[in-house]
């Protein structure tokens, strides 16, 4: 993929220490399908991490949820109001979601946290 539609490694949380920082110092919002942790990081851009446990479903279901989260982040990151590190934790009920329902659930949490306007 080219241009704005990519999801490069620089926009992902990849290290255990990065996840630990978000979990320890972050603000938490709980929704029906996801839990969102966020730490503001001015000037570094927004980065995404995901945690999807086996309680959500088998490998096919877990990978689908991760694809949905990456796709939402990739297509909506231009709408974010601030630079932050985010970790989205999928709850077991998220395994039944389609993309539109998943996107609505994530958008609701990000609005609640002040990441999205409106």
Query: Domain extents for the chain?
Result: 25-112
**Token pair recorded at residue 45:** 């851009």
What are the helix (H) ranges across 13-115? Answer: 16-25, 59-76, 99-112
**What pLDDT was estimated at residue 1?**
46
The CATH class for the domain spanning 25-112 reads: alpha beta
Mean pLDDT of all residues in the chain? 89
In degrees rounded to 5, what are phi and psi of residue 78? -65, -20
What single-letter DSSP state applies at residue 116?
B
Average of per-residue pLDDT across 12-37: 93
């Amino acid at each position: 993929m080219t241009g704005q539609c990519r999801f490069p490694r620089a926009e992902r949380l990849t290290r255990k220490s990065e996840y630990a920082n978000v979990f320890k110092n972050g603000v938490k919002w709980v929704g029906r399908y996801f839990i969102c942790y966020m730490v503001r990081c001015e000037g570094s851009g927004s980065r995404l991490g995901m945690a999807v446990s086996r309680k959500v479903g088998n490998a096919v279901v877990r990978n689908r949820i991760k694809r949905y989260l990456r796709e939402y982040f990739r297509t909506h990151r231009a709408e974010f109001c601030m630079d932050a590190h985010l970790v989205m934790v999928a709850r077991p009920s998220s395994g039944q979601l389609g993309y539109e329902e998943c996107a609505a659930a994530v958008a609701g949490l990000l609005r609640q946290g002040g990441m999205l306007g409106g």
